[in-house]
Amino acid sequence: MASFVYNAFKHRQLGDTSLTPINLKTDTIKLALLTSSYTPDQDAHNFFDDITNEVSNSGTYSAGGATLTVTTSQDDTDNEGVFDATDVSFTSATITARYAVIYKSTGTASTSPLICLIDFGSNQTSTAGSFTITFAAEGILNLA
């Protein structure tokens, strides 16, 4: 489901001790929505403070997005490690978003490392209704 994984996340997962580690099961993992004005940069964007053009607060959406209920598993059929989360819904929301970014929240944008970006392919809109992100049955991120 992830359109791409930020390169700094890959580096962290390979054990670079100079970078803030990310434990997908125990850390606070969040999803924020971004407008089409955001220009994704897999190489240069490392922390949440690199993210621009977050959607305006509306309904139950608040700045920084929603905390995800994360699961990780081992898929022996496909020989993968799977990172997944419960689907997210923002109710009574008027939102137009093109992207979702998933990141570890430390409470400070400049130290909150990015994990991956989901490109919806086009603007997705809700008007005074629910804006829902339904993750793929295979998960958000699969490591083969």
Which pLDDT tens digit goes with each residue over 18-30? 777 899 999 999 9
pLDDT of residue 14: 86
Secondary structure of the chain in HEC code, one letter for each residue: CCCEECHHHHHHHCCCCCCCCCCCCCCCEEEEEECCCCCCCCCCCCEHHHCCCECCCECCECCCCEECCEEEEEECCCCEEEEEECCEEEEEEEEEEEEEEEEECCCCHHHCEEEEEEEEEEEEEEEEEEEEECCCCCCCEEEC
pLDDT of residue 117: 98
5 CB neighbour count, 10 Å cutoff: 18
Using 70 as the pLDDT threshold, list the residues of the chain that sit under it: none
What is the domain range of residue 77? 4-143
pLDDT of residue 94: 94
pLDDT of residue 4: 94
Q: How many domains does the chain have?
A: 1
How is residue 5 written in tokens? 């994984």
pLDDT of residue 59: 86
Q: Measured over all CA atoms, what is the biggest interatomic distance in the chain, rounded to whole angstroms?
A: 45
